Amino acid sequence: MCADTSTTAYWDAAAADFDNEPDHGLRDPAVREAWAARLRGWLPERAGDVLDLGCGTGSLALLAAERGHRVTGVDRSPRMVELARAKLGGTGATVLVGDAAEPPVGEGSFDVVLVRHLLWMLPDRQAVLRRWVRLLRPGGRLVLIEGRWGESDPVGLPAAELSALVGPVTERLSVEQLAPDAALWGRVVRDERYALVADLAPARRHTEIVDVHLILRRGDEVLLARRANTGYADGLLHAPSGHVEDGEDVRAAMLRETAEEIGLTLGPDEVRVVLVLQHKAPTGAARTGWFFEAEAGRESGLEPVNREPGKCSELGWFPLDALPDDMVAYCRAGLKAYRAGHRFALHWHEPDDPVAYTPEGPGRLTPL
């Protein structure tokens, strides 16, 4: 093999005799079974979507289809594609004419990308691998069958080199040496032949902090606390707030935080949810905030006090329709949404946004 034989014209001309090689046509039952056994180990046990790039006449694609997989083959040679379609007739497989480096298929559509004796011929292999990874679903798998052929003047891609290329774009990989298994090739071979199997990281469930915020009203005013000595947004005003603890519901968390921060013991019927706001910090970390409303005043006996002077330098009442500028942007956005009567909203910072509210800054509040 040599890299300059990868033109469409060459492979069109080679198609008629391509299956004469034992490991191409798999006409020998022993060779066919040897490849079928390997594929059983490389492909998922459950039926999945398999993309065979550079599928040639479709011999491996046929083995995968016979295992119940939904197979798509891609080859740049129209003549190879014609033969593959005939070989795969009746299996439900699809075979497309296209460039394996930029296959005409959608991203995130496959459980396995299977490639045999192809990557070594392609320029910019790292970019090609990144493209192939994008074709996979989370937890998907690359099966790359490669080698370094010939003993006196070998060509190809050594396993160590391919492992170094694949490692950064997948979670784990293994290399299976194939040269010692003569049944795969229909003869004894002494050069380097292997399969590299690499798995992507499985999809991880989205998790984020849940916090609670108290909109304590006194007529047209709202209570705000100035943060101090916390390491986050110190010096800025924020509504009394805190995180929901493990096993705690949001209302219980709000009642606990209210007592801990401002000394008010409220009953469940004295607070009500007025807003749910999902927020992303400039760092990219996301959280969901539940905003509760309660009424205060000397007449009701609900007068707040600063119960955490080490974390709060002052408490103060501020007009809800003329909020101060020196506030945490997240909290101010929540109060703006509350004033407008929104019940659900997003506050999605960009990486360069400040934590503090800035009057001239971009608005990041999106009502839902």
**pLDDT one-digit tens code per residue, 207-245:** 889 999 999 999 999 999 999 998 889 999 999 999 999
Instruction: Evaluate if pTM is beyond 0.75.
Output: no
Write the CA distances from 274 to 249, 281, 290, 306, integer angstroms.
16, 22, 8, 24
Q: Is the pLDDT of residue 300 over 70?
A: no
Q: Is the pLDDT of residue 77 over 80?
A: yes
Above pLDDT 70, what percent of the chain? 96
Write the CA distances from 218 to 65, 145, 238, 240, integer angstroms.
70, 71, 16, 14
Confidence band (pLDDT; 50, 70, 90) for 363? confident
Please provide the average confidence, as pLDDT, over all residues in the chain. 92
| Virtual torsion, Cα 118, 119, 122, 123, nearest 10 deg | -170
Residue 179 is predicted with a pLDDT of 95
**pLDDT one-digit tens code per residue, 79-112:** 999 999 999 999 999 999 999 999 999 999 999 9
**DSSP bridge partners of 49:** 70
Confidence band (pLDDT; 50, 70, 90) for 203? low
**pLDDT one-digit tens code per residue, 5-55:** 457 899 999 999 999 999 999 999 999 999 999 999 999 999 999 999 999
Residue 151 is predicted with a pLDDT of 73
Distance spanning both ends of the chain, measured CA to CA: 59
Nearest Cα to 143, choosing from 64, 28, 29?
64
**pLDDT one-digit tens code per residue, 341-351:** 999 999 999 98
Contact 242, 211 (CB under 8 A): yes
- Where does the chain show beta strands of DSSP type E? 49-53, 70-75, 94-97, 110-116, 136-149, 155-156, 172-177, 192-199, 209-218, 221-227, 237-238, 241-243, 272-280, 286-295, 312-319, 344-348, 365-367
Tokens of 206: 């989205």
- Cα-trace Rg, the chain: 32
In our burial notation (b when 16+ CB lie closer than 10 A, e otherwise), range 274-296 reads bbbbbbbbeeeebbebbbbbbeb
Q: What is the residue-wise DSSP string for 17-62?
A: HHTTSHHHH--SHHHHHHHHHHHHHHS-SS--EEEEET-TTSHHHH
Residue 3 is predicted with a pLDDT of 37
Cα angle for residues 7, 13, 14 (degrees, 5° grid): 90
Nearest Cα to 297, choosing from 238, 216, 239?
216
**pLDDT, average across residues 175-196:** 95
Residue 2 is predicted with a pLDDT of 36
Residue 152 is predicted with a pLDDT of 73
Strand-strand pairing, 136-149 and 110-116 = parallel
Confidence band (pLDDT; 50, 70, 90) for 173? very high
**pLDDT, average across residues 240-251:** 95
Residue 153 is predicted with a pLDDT of 82
**pLDDT, average across residues 192-197:** 96
Residue 301 is predicted with a pLDDT of 56
DSSP 76: S
d(CA 116, CA 144): 6
**pLDDT one-digit tens code per residue, 127-159:** 999 999 999 998 899 999 999 988 778 899 999
Q: Is the pLDDT of residue 297 over 90?
A: no
Tokens of 184: 């795969």
At residue 80, the 3 state secondary structure works out as helix
**DSSP bridge partners of 218:** 221
Write the CA distances from 344 to 123, 239, 347, integer angstroms.
50, 18, 10
Tokens of 293: 């409303």
Confidence band (pLDDT; 50, 70, 90) for 73? very high
**pLDDT, average across residues 273-280:** 96
> For tokens 């009394």, what's the residue?
240
| Virtual torsion, Cα 256, 259, 262, 263, nearest 10 deg | 180
Confidence band (pLDDT; 50, 70, 90) for 201? confident
Residue 241 is predicted with a pLDDT of 96
Residue 302 is predicted with a pLDDT of 65
Confidence band (pLDDT; 50, 70, 90) for 260? very high
Residue 285 is predicted with a pLDDT of 87
Residue 181 is predicted with a pLDDT of 96
